[in-house]
Amino acid sequence: MNTEYIGIVFMYLATIALAIPLGKYIAKVFKGEKTWLGFMAPLEKLIFKFSGIDPNREMNWKQHLKALLTVNLLWLFYAFFCLLFQGHLPLNPDNNPNQTPDLAFNTALSFVTNTNLQDYSGESGATYYTQLFVFMFLHFVSAATGIAAMMVVFKAMKDKITDKLGNFWDFLVKSITRLLLPISFVIAVILAFNGTPTSYKGKDTVITLQGDTVHVSRGPAAAMIAIKQAGTNGGGWFGVNSAHPFENPNYLTNIVENISIILISISLVFALGYYLNKKKLAWVIFGVMTVGFLIMIFPSVSAEVNGNPAIAHLGISQPGGSMEGKEVRFGPAASAYWGITTTVTSNGSVNAMHDSMMPVSGMAQMFDMMINAFYGGVGVGYLNFYIFMIIAVFISGLMVGRTPEFMGRKIEAREMKIASLIALLHPFLILVGTAIATYVLVHFSNAGWATKPSAWLNNPGFHGFSEMLYQYTSSSANNGSGYGGLTANNIFWNVSTGLVIFLGRFLPIIGPVAIAGILANKKFVPESAGTLKTDTATFGIMIFAVIIIVAALSFFPALTLGPIAEHFSIK
Amino acid sequence: MKTYLLPSVKITIILLVILSGLYPLVIAGIGKFTPGHGDGETIEYKGRVVGYANEGQKFTKDKYFWSRPSAANYQADAGVGSNKGPSNADYLKDVKARIDTFLKHNPDVKREEIPAELVTASGSGLDPDLSPAGAKVQVPRVAKVRDIPAAQVYKLIDDNTEQPLLGLFGPPKVNVLKLNVALEELKK
């Protein structure tokens, strides 16, 4: 068991050790300074030339959003139609069928928004074409979209009045060529040498040692698995994601994949410090995020390692902790650690089935997604945190009775309205979604649909409620992990979570970019003795308090009905 | 919107070529130099491919070490976990039934010696491994059926145990397929 603890401590320390230099590097890339990946420049030139784009043409925040939304809309339609007709497209050696319209709707939205809810299973519900040319493509560009939006906010935080906030295409392309693609390449090679398939061959048929006939799904998976981890996407090649022995073959690949879940999200915080030359502020943000992260790690790891009391009552031993839904090669500690890292970021890949984890873990995972800003998704995690900072500044300002200022700009009614709406959107989508689903389940349990609501849940009681709550939480947080027991591939769930995913992605991008753009146009007020310092521990505590009050408390009643009640009911 | 549509279409096309076309092809090329040549590493017994090293398979006969329970019944094109919650009463009944079955086939084993992994389903439904304890608890049965000394079988498990990465990280494990192949190859 000791080696399991050492394993997770190592993963975290290695992540931080890599994130600091990577953050410095990212800041250099976006400042336009020279980096050792300068050899990518001709490729970038080619991309811009082919696309007829001048990467040096500066945009204001509205132009940024227009470009972002236009290209995302295009990807949405492209993905939808590919999925609808995937059976007829090339690269389909296993002859998998088309997706139904409601499934294609959900899947397309899910991947465009970096969510990857996956109501299908990769082995039977997708083709090599859609895996590579839809899902993996969107893995790259949806992560790059998040980073591009974040860069607008970074630029706007500089201390001069400006509406020139860089070029969206430039941010998008450089995020890919200088960051996502090189990192994915390294991860993919490591995976390939540890047993993840890379070839384009279809299923193999094998007669096992005992004499059973099995069909073995394969495919060029390593390339995709790399970016699904690094881009906080989470949508895997195989249905069971990184629990699959091809997708995550051993403890080494588990370390690599788990580090890459949170690496870029953390390094972007340090990038902020280097980019704006406000390293103290970056450490305050990192500190708040890390405290939130650690508070969730300990109970989850301890619950999984100690095992399921209900199993203990059956009289057997649990030397490996709670093993339902887990893999022997990872063990309970690394499974719990992954569960937290994948939910604090908006990754959503899994190396164990969350549905079978202990209620304490389930609560921690849902809580992470409800906050959605402890590290958060690449780019967008910081945008969520930015909203909390704005609110914290405003409340602090009210408490001491002066006009709130953030980074030298006055925060006024318009910005606060946007920030409040965005902060309230997340609880609204999750709680209303869950309430409607619960209502339908109770009052129309035998409705004559293809999947009757009474057949939705895989578990009774409190845990069943958690399955629904988790699904909407994961959708709104653009996380994409799920309680796999929920029968989600039907019109009700495909459509309702699809809508939640869509609103939960684009409004929280538009909001912070708008606030930052408006603030950047305001008069710059130099720091004085009366300025609220944002790079202090005091302000860090203030942000933390705002997060707990605004986010956590709105979800507490729902969590009580699900995981908390279940925890106290297990004897 | 119109200003942005044409660049959107064009950048999508070229990024598709680079990211979805070239990148996985390069990885596939590198994959040719890996142990399984990118197709997945297989294991042979008596000149016949009997499975993939990384993919667990079903062993139900008493002469083999059993794999863990699988919600996918070890169908390697449809891996799935049980997704049963820890408090689910029906699920706990299933676990109890598995314990009883195990005890019936392993009369020399005491209930409290059974590690939970042998009566709980894995996440993927394709877990290729057992913990050393999960293998060792099956030794009396395997040794009796095969009529070989138990000590020899224990040694076989030790020989096939993969230690934690660098001796530091993660749990030790035993690949069930490799262990069973080694068992078959054992000279009496």
Residue B45 belongs to a domain: no
Tell me whether residues A240 and B133 touch, CB distance under 8 A.
no
Are B78 and B121 in the same domain? yes
Residue B84 belongs to a domain: yes
Tell me whether residues A352 and B55 touch, CB distance under 8 A.
no
Of the candidates B54, B120, B173, the beta carbon closest to that of A323 is on B120
Tell me the three state secondary structure of residue A299. Answer: helix
Can you read off the two tokens belonging to residue A481? Answer: 């992990």
* Distance, CA of B40 to CA of A197 (rounded, Å): 5
Residue B175 belongs to a domain: yes
* Distance, CA of A538 to CA of A468 (rounded, Å): 38
Number of C-alpha atoms within 13 angstroms, CB side, residue A305? 16
Say if residue A13 is exposed, middle or buried (CB neighbours under 10 Å; 0-12, 13-18, 19+).
exposed
Look up the ipTM and state it.
0.95
Tell me whether residues B74 and A124 touch, CB distance under 8 A.
no
Q: Determine contact, residues B50/B177, Cβ cutoff 8 Å.
A: yes
Of the candidates B7, B55, B169, the beta carbon closest to that of A6 is on B169
Report the candidate in A439, A293, A305 with the shortest Cα–Cα distance to residue A369.
Answer: A293
Instruction: Report whether pLDDT(B80) > 60.
Output: yes
Rounded to a whole number of angstroms, the distance between the first and last alpha carbons of chain B is 78
Number of C-alpha atoms within 13 angstroms, CB side, residue A72? 27
**Total domains present in chain B:** 2
Are B79 and B2 in the same domain? no
* Distance, CA of A144 to CA of A429 (rounded, Å): 25
* Distance, CA of A23 to CA of A496 (rounded, Å): 37
Of the candidates A206, A317, A358, the beta carbon closest to that of B51 is on A206
Chain A hits for B164, CB-CB cut-off 8 Å, are 3, 7, 251
DSSP code at position A175:
I
Chain A hits for B114, CB-CB cut-off 8 Å, are 316-317
Chain A hits for B182, CB-CB cut-off 8 Å, are none
Mean pLDDT score across all residues of chain B: 94
* Distance, CA of A222 to CA of A203 (rounded, Å): 16
Are B94 and B135 in the same domain? yes
Predicted local confidence at residue A1, as pLDDT: 66
Are B23 and B100 in the same domain? no
Are B104 and B171 in the same domain? yes
Q: Determine contact, residues A102/A494, Cβ cutoff 8 Å.
A: yes
Chain B hits for A172, CB-CB cut-off 8 Å, are 11
Are B153 and B67 in the same domain? yes
Are B177 and B97 in the same domain? yes
Interface of A with B in 488-527 (CB under 8 A): none
Task: pLDDT band for B186, please (50, 70, 90 cuts).
Answer: confident
Interface of A with B in 91-150 (CB under 8 A): 94, 121, 123-124, 132-133, 136-137, 140-141
Instruction: Report whether pLDDT(B188) > 60.
Output: no
Tell me whether residues B34 and A207 touch, CB distance under 8 A.
no
Of the candidates B85, B112, B177, the beta carbon closest to that of A463 is on B85
Are B20 and B74 in the same domain? no
Tell me whether residues A329 and B9 touch, CB distance under 8 A.
no
- The residues, ordered by sequence, that sit 6+ positions from A502 with a Cβ below 8 Å of its Cβ are A109, A113
Residue B60 belongs to a domain: yes
Predicted local confidence at residue B1, as pLDDT: 62
Are B139 and B90 in the same domain? yes
Min CA distance, A550 vs chain B (Å)? 30
Q: Determine contact, residues A321/A331, Cβ cutoff 8 Å.
A: yes
Task: pLDDT band for B5, please (50, 70, 90 cuts).
Answer: very high
Can you read off the two tokens belonging to residue A75? Answer: 């990807």
The helix (H) or strand (E) run that includes residue A88 is none
Task: Select from B87, B90, B92, B163 the residue whose CB has the most chain A CBs within 10 Å, as the one to mutate to test that interface.
Answer: B87
Residue B111 belongs to a domain: yes
Chain A hits for B28, CB-CB cut-off 8 Å, are 198-200, 220, 223
Tell me whether residues A314 and B96 touch, CB distance under 8 A.
yes
Tell me the three state secondary structure of residue A216. Answer: strand
Q: Determine contact, residues A348/A115, Cβ cutoff 8 Å.
A: yes
Tell me whether residues A356 and B24 touch, CB distance under 8 A.
no
Residue B157 belongs to a domain: yes
Can you read off the two tokens belonging to residue B47? Answer: 């000149």
Chain B hits for A43, CB-CB cut-off 8 Å, are 18
Residue B46 belongs to a domain: no
Tell me whether residues A70 and B1 touch, CB distance under 8 A.
yes
Q: Please write the tens of the pLDDT for every residue from B126-155.
A: 999 999 999 999 999 999 999 999 999 999
Are B104 and B169 in the same domain? yes
Are B28 and B57 in the same domain? no
Q: Which long-range contacts link B96-103 to residues 24+ away (Cβ below 8 Å)?
A: B96/A314, B98/B69, B99/A314, B99/A315, B99/A316
Min CA distance, A487 vs chain B (Å)? 11
One pLDDT digit (tens) per residue for chain A, 571 residues: 689 999 999 999 999 999 999 999 999 999 989 888 888 899 999 999 999 999 999 999 999 999 999 999 999 999 999 999 999 999 999 999 999 999 999 999 999 999 999 899 999 999 999 999 999 999 999 999 999 999 999 988 886 778 889 999 999 999 999 999 999 999 999 999 999 999 999 999 999 999 999 999 999 999 999 999 999 999 999 999 999 999 999 999 999 999 999 999 999 999 999 999 999 999 999 999 999 999 999 999 999 999 999 999 999 999 889 999 999 999 999 999 999 999 999 899 999 999 999 999 999 999 999 999 899 888 888 899 999 999 999 988 888 887 788 888 888 899 999 999 999 999 999 999 999 999 999 999 888 888 899 999 999 999 999 999 999 999 999 999 999 999 999 999 999 999 999 999 999 999 999 999 999 888 888 877 777 888 889 999 999 999 998 877 899 999 999 999 999 998 7
Q: Which residue has the tokens 């449809």?
A: B78
Chain B hits for A53, CB-CB cut-off 8 Å, are 7, 11
Q: Determine contact, residues A43/A184, Cβ cutoff 8 Å.
A: no
Tell me whether residues B124 and A189 touch, CB distance under 8 A.
no
Domain that holds residue B9: 1-39
Predicted local confidence at residue B187, as pLDDT: 66
Are B90 and B6 in the same domain? no
Q: Determine contact, residues A69/A61, Cβ cutoff 8 Å.
A: no
